[in-house]
Structure 1
Amino acid sequence: MPEWSVAEARKLTFDTPVTALHVRIVNGTVNVVGTDESSARLEVSELEGPPLVVTQKNGTLTVAYEDLPWKGFLKWLDRKGWRRSAVVSLAVPASTRIEVGVVGAAAVVSGTDERVEVKGVTGDTTLVRVSGPVRVDTVSGNLEAQAVTGDLRFHSVSGDLTVVEGSGSSVRAESVSGSMIVDLDATGAPTDVQLSNVSGEIAIRLPHPADAEVEANTASGTVSSAFEDLRVGGQWGAKKITGRLGAGNGKLKAMTVSGSIALLRRPPAEEEAPSDGPVGSSARGPADGPTGAAPTDKKVL
């Protein structure tokens, strides 16, 4: 099994095919880009602390520390081991299955077609043009996803979720206090979104026309809706939004205990102005919606 110990800035090229990538680092940055090539390239541009061990076996390329296993990753709390940092960039075939574990490091994955799984403690994750299924588990790291077309799963304690130009099959997210902003643009496709939160705010912008059965509930927060076909009501502290949009083939469920919930409507595509801003740069919060412009016809309770 080929193995390299990387103790300083270095570049490596792997001639044999790569079908899976495993990366685990502490502090710094991981950048993974999908390409049309069958081989993979690695560049470690910055490195502090112990060396990274690089191995290649049965099509799996691994870049990690010896003392940082994938199993139990989110419980790895060796503070002395945190005194390290690495900036790692990889170009891999777009069909590569990807597992990334980051403790205090940022992770960026773009242009891939296969499954992506990210585990993070405090580092943020950015996904761009990923078409395979995605699962992200974090403690306090944020997730920003743009043009992700595969099923998206997100679990966090306090990390925020921002989805821009989402057109995937489904979005499932759970958090305790992180905010959730989901902007969907899959016009004509059934919506499949299920979001659960305790105290974080939730904002969902749906395409026009939308197709979903809607059920949104909060125990003590506020709710607002830009859709005349939906009912906004409730009594005492509890509020809810219910009803059907289009044929009701899809499903939209949102639930919070004390956070607010806003359902916004995306204008028809021809009315939208092009935007060249960075991922999530236009997301401001449930009050303003993902584009910062609150609809004039929304109902608030």
Structure 2
Amino acid sequence: MSDRSEWSLSAPRKLTFDAPVTALHVRVVGGTVNVVGTDTGPASLHLSEIEGPPLAVSLHNGVLSIAYEDLPWQGFLKLLDRKGWQRTAHITLTVPTETRAEVGTVHAVAVVSGLSGRTEVRGISGDSTLVGLTGEVRADTVSGSVEAQSLGGRLRFNSVSGELTVIDGTSPAVKADSISGNMVLDIAPTATPADLHLNTVSGGIAIRLPDPANVAVDAQTTSGQLSNAFDDLTVDGSPWGGPWGAWACPGGTGGKITGTL
């Protein structure tokens, strides 16, 4: 029979978990969520500020959950930011590096760093920052922006109007789709080939590539213009000048850039 521990947090508090933590589930409305992976010490939670109903915390079979009971993970992006959700919580979580993490926010800011397990982030209007993650990453957002820095695993991004910014990108594969959100990718030199598949309806796409790049590119926009500074990439669309390696901007006729460098 497994052990289960539960807490109800309605005031600032610190918790240290003696039992092992292998997975993390977080669902909050407003405030901040900071998740840090570490190779030393037990998992811990620091709730520095809270307004509104209490947070339910549980640890069961290695799964650490911090959430409101009326904020489900399934169908999360279909939720509306209702006026009745006047809630704020500022949380810092320290967990083992290999922890698998699911973080969902309505309009809270999320920062996740130092994990090697699979990470999934869902947000409605809150911004997310992902740093030094080496496992597979999935980020879904309605209007919040996502900044990813020094990721080592595959990145999957979906957005309505939220923007994606990749800094020092070393992911072996990036697949990103948006309706009107812009995408800016700064790809770092790497010995491992990378695949970039980017698609947007009216958003802009900017890609900065090293020389040599070792990258396969498939980027397209429905209504944006395209230009290209690399001879090995094929452009299907109207030319537009710019300083980037490849650039698509809103307001044009659409097009596609493909090829391998």
TM-score over 0.5 for the pair: yes
**What are the Cα deviations for residues 121-154 of structure 1, in whole angstroms up to 9, with x where unaligned?**
1000000101010001111010001001110011
The change in CA–CA distance for 1:167 and 1:80 in structure 2 (over 3 A counts) is: same
Aligned residue for 1:74, secondary structure, equals: helix
The alignment status of 1:61 with 2:64, answered yes or no, reads: yes
Correspondences of 1:1-301 after superposition (within 5 Å): 1-37=4-40, 39-77=42-80, 79-232=82-235, 234=237, 238=253, 240=255, 244-246=259-261
User: How many corresponding residue pairs?
Assistant: 246
Higher share in strand: 2
Compare 36-45 and 160-169 and name the one that shifted more: 36-45
Where in structure 1 are there 5+ consecutive unaligned residues?
Answer: 247-301
C-alpha contact 1:188 1:210 (8 A) present in aligned 2: no
Where in structure 2 are there 5+ consecutive unaligned residues?
Answer: 240-251
**What are the Cα deviations for residues 89-133 of structure 1, in whole angstroms up to 9, with x where unaligned?**
000000100000101101000011110001111000000101010
C-alpha contact 1:187 1:209 (8 A) present in aligned 2: no
Q: Which amino acid aligns with 1:190?
A: P
Q: Which residue of 1 aligns with 2:245?
A: none
| Identity %, equivalent residues | 57
The alignment yields a C-alpha RMSD, in angstroms, of 2.0
**What are the Cα deviations for residues 25-63 of structure 1, in whole angstroms up to 9, with x where unaligned?**
110000000011362110000000000011000000101
Q: Which amino acid aligns with 2:208?
A: R
Q: What TM-score do the two structures reach when normalised by structure 2?
A: 0.88
C-alpha contact 2:100 2:118 (8 A) present in aligned 1: yes
Q: C-alpha distance in 1, partners of 2:169/2:228?
A: 20
Q: C-alpha distance in 2, partners of 1:243/1:197?
A: 15
Q: What TM-score do the two structures reach when normalised by structure 1?
A: 0.76
Q: C-alpha distance in 2, partners of 1:177/1:221?
A: 10
Q: Which amino acid aligns with 2:206?
A: A
Q: C-alpha distance in 1, partners of 2:189/2:143?
A: 29
Aligned residue for 2:108, secondary structure, equals: strand
Q: C-alpha distance in 1, partners of 2:48/2:65?
A: 17
C-alpha contact 2:225 2:237 (8 A) present in aligned 1: no
